[in-house]
Structures are given as structure tokens and as C-alpha cells.
Amino acid sequence: MSKPRLVLISDIYGNTTGNWMEEYRKKLTPYFEVIEYDSRVLAGITSLDQKQVHSEFINGGTERAVQNLLTHEPKASIILGFSIGGTIAWKFATENNKITSLHLVSATRLRNEITKPFSKISLYYGELEANGPTQSWFENFKLVPTIFDDQTHECYSLVESAKYICTMILSEII
């Protein structure tokens, strides 16, 4: 029997080889066919300047990334997205009805979204996140995020958060 497909979409740094990603790989690879995407590559962003990268994502890069995913991931079933990768995943899922669930961590730009995907959605944020969606946004979409106490935007890079998120993902298939 083949493993279910899990797509990982990186944060704004675009690096899926960071040490923090290893915790996700270690926990998820035995159960999933894991496919990883660098958000910058998906968006066609080559700049290394963080301000420029941020600007490019906001000014068309996110949409380019979604279009590239639509071309390359017609069969994706579960997505785990980090920061901008979470926003890309949300937008992708609104256009691809084959996504069964989204696990989005620190996806602050969701605050601008007005269309909800039909898939199951799990959201994770650090308690000290300054730019995430408002409580009324969550209520409007009938979503209850998991909040990591005393954590900031990059809570996804912490081992404790990664273990919890992986447990939640695995609970869908085990």
C-alpha cells in the first residue's frame, strides 16, 4: 500500500534544509510520501535581501507560487506550510479540491484571506505573534487555532512545536 502524500512548503527563507525541518522529516517520512517545496523557488524569487523577498511575495510572488503548485501538485492530499508557505497552501487549497487537510503554522498573511478552502484546516501560532489574524477573522471562518504559549512567529522551528504538529498530522492517518 502506498503512503499518503504530504507536501511541505517552506517559510519565507525558502530553506527546507534547516535543522528545524529535520524534526518534521524524522516524524513524518515513515508515514508519508513527503514532497518539499522551497517557497522562494515556487514564487520565482531569486533575491537574497529579506525586504526585497517580502515585497516580491506580496506583489505577485504568492500568486506565482500558487500557480506553480497547481501545475506540479494535482494529487496533493495533505499540506504542511510554514509562514508564507502556509498562505501559499491556503490559496492553493481554495483552487484545488483534492486537498484533504491543511496544517498551517505562523501563516500571518491569512489575515487578508476572504475565501476559505473546503479542506480540514489546522492553524498554529505562537502566543507572541504580532501579525496574525484577529480573533474576529478566526470566528468568521469558524476556526480555532492552536496557540503555543510564550512563542513567537518562528515557533515552528522549535522541537516541542514540531512534535505537537506532527502528532496532529499523524492522528489523521493512524
Asked if 133 and 106 touch (Cβ cutoff 8 Å), the reply is: no
Under a CB-based contact definition with an 8 Å cutoff, are residues 162 and 27 in contact? yes
Residue 68 clears pLDDT 90, i.e. is over it: yes
Q: Residue 114 belongs to a domain with what CATH number?
A: 3.40.50.1820
Binned at pLDDT 50, 70 and 90, residue 160 comes out as: very high
The pLDDT tens digits of the residues spanning 79-117 come to 999 999 999 999 999 999 899 999 999 999 999 999 999
Q: To the nearest whole number, what is the mean pLDDT of the chain?
A: 94
Mean pLDDT, residues 131-148: 97
pLDDT value at position 97?
87
Q: Which amino acid, 155? A: C
Which cell is 89 given?
Answer: 497552501
Per the structure, how many domains does the chain have? Answer: 1
- Check pLDDT > 80 for residue 16: no
Domain limits at 16?
5-170
Please give the pLDDT value at position 48.
86
Q: State in Å, rounded, how far the first CA of the chain is from the last one.
A: 14
Q: Residue 130 above 70 pLDDT?
A: yes
The answer to whether residue 23 scores a pLDDT higher than 70 is: yes
Please, what sign has the CA dihedral across residues 130, 121, 113, 39? Answer: positive
Listed in sequence order, the DSSP H helices in 8-158 are 19-28, 39-43, 50-56, 62-72, 84-95, 135-140
